[in-house]
Amino acid sequence: MKVKLFALTGWALYVGLSSGLLANAQRKAAVVSEVTASESVTFELYIPLAHKAALEQLLADQQTTGSAQYHQWLTPAQIQTRFGPSAETVAAVTQEMSRYGLTVTQISPQLLQVSGSGALVTEALGAPLVHGVTAKGRSVVFAARPVSLPSVASSAGAMLTGLSGTVRQHTHAKKAASTANRYSPAGSYWFDDLKQAYTFPSYKSYSGKGSKIGILIPSAINASDMAAYFGHEGLAVPKITVETVLGGEPFDPNSDSSFEAELDVQQSGGMAPDAKITVYDIPDLSDDSIIAGLDKIVSDNKVDVVSISFGGPELAYTAAYNSGEDFTYLLRAEDEIMAKGNAMGITFVASSGDLGALSIPSAACFSENAPTPCGTFQASVEFPASSPHVTGVGGTNLKTVFDANNPNDLNSAYVSEEAYADSISGDYQYGTTATGAYFGSGGGDSVVFAKPFYQLFVPTGRGTRTVPDVALHMGGCPGVPPGFTETCSADDSSDVEAFAGGFYGVIGTSAAAPAFAGLTALNIEKSGGRVGNENAYIYTLSALQSVRLIKNVYHWGIPGFNGLYSSGNEGYNRVLGNGTLYGKDFLLAPEVPSAGIPQTPSNP
């Protein structure tokens, strides 16, 4: 393998294949042994809201200018009083579990932790339990066959969030296979290059001061990487804290989650240097860990915007992919928690995915006796970007000005963008024999969630939730393993990440999502408070731009194709949503100075 190396202020920018960072989003733990009768087992039950329709009406009112509820955010206690399950319901479920001899601890108003011996848990759930080990070597316990909740819990709509043994979500960041340094038309880009290209406001105008960003990911971070990254551009490291959930996961230089965690902090912190950042470190990307992390964020109510750079195809939760058992209830539970967060004013941002519109192989590809080839990649949006209570962020390849005669010129003014996905010869992501894979901006139609009210503001096509909502730079050319080929082009670009003692080219919508979360932090600073679900604002601006009532907020006409859908038109599309952003105009602050050339006072 050839590796390009560029000297970079005492470190190096390493660019190579990312074989250690590929993930299988349909990972079932391998069975090791049966759980014995006396072993201790723990699982969680989520009790759904009792008045979801009323909550949705409140959310619409909170985003309707002129409404008495406009931006009137609730506290966690107020939400539970108005919309949560009754105390009697929670008590009844608790008592039922206790009758089986199980111990119940109420983690939050809707999340119960239940523990007991293997024999008692097996009796309560009606399914034997087994020990398993994940592809990453993590020990887990899961049910050997579908469970059946006892009658009271079932009647209450309680959801078992663990004991499945399957991880359906994965991080999106990948190392770029080939890229030049920042002194070229196509990157690699530092945060300040992107701020100039997308006309963010000057650092002296808005810096995210007073706002708080949350990062949900299974990893802690390495402080020396943060110092190297921000220090390279002459910027102080933002205030960063780590909040562990269910024990969390330590930083690991060989982990794709750690690679993602550091990218998310660096991108969001670079866009909003004075924002405070909290990393919510969960153990893994199983749905029970994700639910615990989201529940912790909403219950604590400490951060204003949450960046999520992982996801999984909605189809992976459907019965066709799970031997006839439907797990889409897990997506609805996670969506419900984020809806509560919206009512508190919390904004959720998620990457739309990097496999274009075709994000998962045919269900037959995951069977034990899959044919060869097993089928083709299927259209499926990824969750959590597909949640109506999340801003899904897609991506492009960006080109900026370049003076070949002055390689030290840091000018990164915008020239153009494109969003053509890289075609891949085989299944480099899941490891099946499926054909028709792409690397590009995720987008399409949800099969779980209905069209939200804000998507009525502009034509989006279908009657369901469509993705993405906006886009920023993501780059391309993922570096497939030996034996695969890809259609990388000269316009494929990347961002820079400091990781485990080196600088790397990194690509994916997981770079675009935290960048947008940083822009949201600037919006929070400008607004003087939280903004909640930003999508109503996003689609309102798009509608106004379409009738020329406001100056351009979005770059339109960006050409692209994500395996099923095309961009290039004015208005909304399933590749880039409403388009990439003019930062100042998105903040409705066109009069403030722009972020200028990187490493200057307006754009450190």
Per residue in 159-189, pLDDT (tens digit) is: 999 898 889 999 999 888 644 445 566 668 9
CA atoms of 398 and 555, how far apart (whole Å): 12
Which residues are registered as beta bridge partners of 581? 554
Pair (427, 457) in one structural domain: yes
Per-residue confidence (pLDDT) for residue 412, from 0 to 100: 93
Residues 351-371: tens digit of each pLDDT: 999 999 999 999 999 988 899
Residue 587 and residue 522 in contact, taking contact as beta carbons nearer than 8 Å: yes
Task: Calculate what percentage of the chain has a pLDDT beyond 90.
Answer: 83
Q: 484 pLDDT band (50/70/90 cuts)? A: confident
Q: 314 pLDDT band (50/70/90 cuts)? A: very high
Amino acid at 524: I
What's the rounded mean pLDDT across residues 463-485?
A: 92
Which residues are registered as beta bridge partners of 307? 215, 349
CA atoms of 218 and 220, how far apart (whole Å): 7
Pair (194, 259) in one structural domain: yes
**Is 98 inside a domain boundary?**
yes
Q: 150 pLDDT band (50/70/90 cuts)? A: very high
Per-residue confidence (pLDDT) for residue 104, from 0 to 100: 97
Residue 6 has pLDDT above 60, yes or no: no
Per-residue confidence (pLDDT) for residue 182, from 0 to 100: 59
Residue 2 has pLDDT above 80, yes or no: no
CA atoms of 472 and 478, how far apart (whole Å): 17
Pair (384, 475) in one structural domain: yes
CA atoms of 594 and 454, how far apart (whole Å): 29
CA atoms of 172 and 513, how far apart (whole Å): 10
Per-residue confidence (pLDDT) for residue 33, from 0 to 100: 92
Nearest CA-CA partner of 280 in 335, 356, 213: 213
Task: Calculate what percentage of the chain has a pLDDT beyond 70.
Answer: 94
Window from 270-274, 408-412, 576-580 with minimum mean pLDDT:
408-412
Pair (277, 313) in one structural domain: yes
Nearest CA-CA partner of 439 in 425, 426, 424, 427: 424
- Domain termination site, one of 129, 151, 167: 167
Nearest CA-CA partner of 14 in 555, 504, 604, 476: 504
Pair (163, 197) in one structural domain: no
**Is 70 inside a domain boundary?**
no
What's the rounded mean pLDDT across residues 505-526?
A: 97
**Is 4 inside a domain boundary?**
no
Nearest CA-CA partner of 238 in 214, 257, 219: 214
Q: Give the CA distances from residue 550 to residues 66, 127, 542, 543, in Å, rounded to whole numbers and listed in that order.
A: 20, 59, 9, 9
What's the rounded mean pLDDT across residues 11-15?
A: 32
Pair (268, 151) in one structural domain: no
- Domain termination site, one of 128, 143, 167: 167
Instruction: Give residues with Cβ within 8 angstroms of 91, minimum separation 6.
Output: none
Q: What total of structural domains would you count in the chain?
A: 2
Residue 592 and residue 198 in contact, taking contact as beta carbons nearer than 8 Å: no
Residue 474 and residue 491 in contact, taking contact as beta carbons nearer than 8 Å: no
**Is 175 inside a domain boundary?**
yes
Q: 54 pLDDT band (50/70/90 cuts)? A: very high
CA atoms of 506 and 391, how far apart (whole Å): 22
Window from 73-87, 489-503, 516-530, 572-586 with minimum mean pLDDT:
489-503
Pair (94, 210) in one structural domain: no
Range of the domain at 241: 170-586
CA atoms of 543 and 534, how far apart (whole Å): 15
CA atoms of 572 and 308, how far apart (whole Å): 23
**Is 287 inside a domain boundary?**
yes
Residue 45 has pLDDT above 60, yes or no: yes
Pair (145, 184) in one structural domain: no
- Domain termination site, one of 167, 200, 216: 167
CA atoms of 27 and 288, how far apart (whole Å): 15
Residue 13 has pLDDT above 90, yes or no: no
CA atoms of 313 and 394, how far apart (whole Å): 15
Q: 139 pLDDT band (50/70/90 cuts)? A: confident
**Is 386 inside a domain boundary?**
yes
Per-residue confidence (pLDDT) for residue 184, from 0 to 100: 65
Residue 9 has pLDDT above 60, yes or no: no
Pair (204, 300) in one structural domain: yes
CATH number at residue 355: 3.40.50.200
**Is 428 inside a domain boundary?**
yes
Per-residue confidence (pLDDT) for residue 26, from 0 to 100: 56
Quick one: tokens of 475?
A: 């780059």
**Is 69 inside a domain boundary?**
no
CA atoms of 370 and 211, how far apart (whole Å): 50
Window from 217-221, 499-503, 580-584 with minimum mean pLDDT:
499-503
Window from 69-78, 354-363, 398-407 with minimum mean pLDDT:
398-407
Q: Give the burial string for 110-130 (b: 16+ CB within 10 Å, else e).
A: bbbbbebbbbbbbebbebebb
Q: Residue 60, class by beta-carbon neighbours within 10 Å (0-12 exposed, 13-18 middle, 19+ buried)?
A: middle
What's the mean per-residue pLDDT of the chain?
A: 91
Residue 1 has pLDDT above 80, yes or no: no
Pair (178, 152) in one structural domain: no
Residue 293 and residue 216 in contact, taking contact as beta carbons nearer than 8 Å: yes
- In degrees rounded to 5, what are phi and psi of residue 497? -130, 135
Nearest CA-CA partner of 153 in 43, 288, 289, 45: 45
Residue 302 and residue 550 in contact, taking contact as beta carbons nearer than 8 Å: no
Per-residue confidence (pLDDT) for residue 51, from 0 to 100: 94
Pair (339, 383) in one structural domain: yes
Which residues are registered as beta bridge partners of 140? 132
Pair (339, 434) in one structural domain: yes
Strands 305-308 and 129-133: unpaired
CA atoms of 443 and 314, how far apart (whole Å): 12
Which residues are registered as beta bridge partners of 43? 114
Strands 4-8 and 11-15: antiparallel
Window from 22-31, 157-166, 547-556 with minimum mean pLDDT:
22-31
Residue 15 has pLDDT above 80, yes or no: no
Residue 441 and residue 394 in contact, taking contact as beta carbons nearer than 8 Å: yes
Nearest CA-CA partner of 393 in 324, 325, 341, 443: 443
